[in-house]
Chain A
Amino acid sequence: MDVAALLTCYERMAVIRRTEKAAHDLFLQGLVKGTTHLAAGQEAIAVGASAALRPDDYVFATYRGHHHALARGATPEECLAELMSRATGLCKAKGGSMHLTKAATGMLGSYAIVGSHLPMAVGAAWSARLRGTEQLAVAFFGDGATNIGAFHESLNLAAVWKLPVLFVCENNQYMEYTPIADVTAVARPAADRAPAHGIPGEVVDGNDVEAVEEAVARLARRARAGDGPAVLEAETYRHFGHSRSDPAAYRPAEEVERWLKHDPLDLARGRLAELGVQAEAVAEADERARAVVERAVEAAKAGPPPDPREALTDVWADGGAAWRT
């Protein structure tokens, strides 16, 4: 990755980190209902992968998908407005934190049933091939999803059809509260299983945005060339608990400390310094990210509530919800 690209990635990660922090604060202020699954700590995966993708590629994510929506073109304002139940939200306040979707930029959704979106990505890749495009489909999912049947069904189907799809596991070491290692017989829950389906399984440092970009770009080239799917397991760590109700007390202090020292933003900052980028340039990027998110919070807060009549729209293609004639 060249210096300019790395700096851009850094700024994107900073925007995501600050948006996550804003979501957290707004929740504490009672302005965000329900729950949130923050991805702070996992930004490098979304940003690195997006840097390697084409604008028309398809992305499918999980309920922990703020970072993917933001990396794939949703604005902090749209996302925060969605979390705050505003009519201006990304999904008109019908989705919420767990379902951020921006179809126009290929962010085809965030799904809250663990593993459910993996076959969808396979289908999108199939569709791309049938339509003769060179689009790629990427499914991002957690380590916990690798023990779901749909994971294995998807890997096999994608492999046997040699489809242009990448399965990117964000291995943050935990399912909800249970370490993945306690419930999985192999050490690398995603990568170790890939060979059983006849496809490559690679492991990458998920906190290193350059490494993620490089791996995704390489596997994407392969997939677009017709060589089929691949699994990329990106090792990472979430800074917060699983969701808003989880203080994450189950994590050993020294483990948390070790991972926090391996923060994706710090890593990128270190690398930028290594490459000779002045501290001011990084500070300016930080400042831009701060300003963007601050404006987004204010704008989202100012958004109107949804029209209650909207509860009965968008079920069918005609816009309505009528179940009888």
Chain B
Amino acid sequence: MADVITYREAVAEGIAREMRRDTSVVCLGEDIAAAEGVFKTTVGLRAEFGAERVWDTPISEQAIVGAAMGAAMTGMRPVAEIMFSDFLACCWDYLANEIPKVRYMTGGQVTVPLVVRTANGGGLGFGAQHSQATENWALTVPGLKIAAPATPADVIGMMAAAIRSDDPVVFFEHKALLATKGPPPPPDHVVELGRAAVVREGADITLVALAATVPLALKAADMLSGEGIEAEVVDLRCLVPLDAATVLDSLRRTSRLLTVEENPYQGGWGATVVSIVADEGFGLLDAPVRRVAGECVPLPFADALEEQVIPTVDKVVTAVRGLAAY
């Protein structure tokens, strides 16, 4: 294997590793087989595993996710692709009402070991219906696990954990990260769901980030370092299970908190993180908490407009300066 791998290659590699070790792992989705994915995140799968295990579906989001559910209930481990996370709304019944509830309402009789993968987030000028960061939609639903890796190695490790999980996982692949590169992880690399990573150490402030806001927070931290502010960056990696312990632990060192998220402020995951800190870590704080989040508007098309409404390095730097001076 090459010494660097892109995030998009990591998606296919992560799925392929699991398909090799477990024949119950199967894929379905639009354009994933012969065309190898509109984002080229399923390259090589059909060639290696055949059309029976890597199935091209019609444009039928309800049938894709509903069929994945039925297959998962009866012995398979399906990996369903919803092309853009915006389209999750077309099959929202399955993610909000069916998949996460069936174990509970059957008194534990049924297991739904499936993964719904989807390309999430903005920054590429795809307009209001192809750019949303929608992980906050899933966050409101009890019974779904939520993974959102930021690096190729994490894509592979978390894909392994997601596919092996007996619980349903929504797996957000950030579009703005697809071309990013990193070292490929060793064979059998598994990143347990619900384990955040401290990706930069620093004593002055904790930046909590997810997916595409991780490199953004890291860039801001590098700039701030020049001003004498050392930020610790926590990559949450998963929203459910949420690793609150790592956040609280970091706050013990820094006493200041900023969350950086792409979904809108209202109902965003940052609010949950901040409320846990207010509840359990109030005494650790030396300053108010701050959140950099998306604006509550449909995502505009033009770069100059989109930048206004999603987190940027500048917004993070400005917010950190304010907190550091408090």
Q: Which of A99, A116, A157, A323 contacts B105 (CB 8 A)?
A: A99
Q: Which of B52, B66, B71, B113 contacts A118 (CB 8 A)?
A: B66
For B58, the chain A residues whose CB sits under 8 A away are 153, 156-157, 160
Task: Say how far B277's CB is from chain A's closest CB, in angstroms.
Answer: 12
For B108, the chain A residues whose CB sits under 8 A away are 92, 313-314, 319
A119 pairs with B241, CB closer than 8 A: no
Q: Across the interface, name the chain A residue whose C-beta is closest to B239.
A: A323
Pick the interface stretch among B37-45, B116-124, B242-250, B281-289. Answer: B242-250
B72 pairs with A95, CB closer than 8 A: no
A131 pairs with B75, CB closer than 8 A: yes
A167 proximal to B (CB < 8 A): no
| Contact A123 to B111, CB < 8 A, known contacts A153-B60, A315-B103 | no
Interface residues of A in 295-319 (CB under 8 A from B): 313-317, 319
**Bound: A126/B27 CA distance, A:** 12
B76 pairs with A130, CB closer than 8 A: yes
Interface residues of B in 263-289 (CB under 8 A from A): 276
A157 pairs with B67, CB closer than 8 A: yes
Q: Which of A92, A99, A128, A153 contacts B62 (CB 8 A)?
A: A153
A321 proximal to B (CB < 8 A): yes
B296 proximal to A (CB < 8 A): no
| Contact A123 to B244, CB < 8 A, known contacts A101-B109, A157-B63, A325-B195 | no
A108 proximal to B (CB < 8 A): yes
Q: Across the interface, name the chain B residue whose C-beta is closest to A137.
A: B70
Interface residues of A in 126-149 (CB under 8 A from B): 126-128, 130-131, 135, 137, 149
**Bound: A130/B166 CA distance, A:** 19
Q: Across the interface, name the chain A residue whose C-beta is closest to B165.
A: A317
Q: Across the interface, name the chain B residue whose C-beta is closest to A131.
A: B75
Q: Across the interface, name the chain A residue whose C-beta is closest to B61.
A: A153
| Contact A315 to B104, CB < 8 A, known contacts A101-B109, A101-B110, A119-B62 | yes
Task: Say how far B63's CB is from chain A's closest CB, in angstroms.
Answer: 4
A272 proximal to B (CB < 8 A): no
For B26, the chain A residues whose CB sits under 8 A away are 130
B67 pairs with A317, CB closer than 8 A: no
**Bound: A101/B63 CA distance, A:** 21
A157 pairs with B57, CB closer than 8 A: yes
A154 proximal to B (CB < 8 A): yes
**Bound: A109/B113 CA distance, A:** 16
For B194, the chain A residues whose CB sits under 8 A away are 324-325
B324 proximal to A (CB < 8 A): no
For B240, the chain A residues whose CB sits under 8 A away are 323-324
B129 proximal to A (CB < 8 A): no
Chain A interface (Cβ within 8 Å of chain B)?
Answer: 58, 60, 89-96, 99, 101-104, 108-109, 111, 113, 116-128, 130-131, 135, 137, 149-150, 153-154, 156-157, 160-161, 313-317, 319, 321-325
- Cross-chain pairs A/B with CB under 8 angstroms, 27 sampled: A58-B70, A90-B107, A91-B107, A94-B107, A96-B105, A108-B70, A116-B93, A116-B98, A117-B98, A120-B66, A120-B67, A121-B70, A123-B69, A123-B74, A124-B74, A127-B70, A130-B53, A130-B71, A131-B75, A149-B62, A157-B67, A315-B143, A317-B166, A321-B142, A323-B142, A324-B194, A324-B244
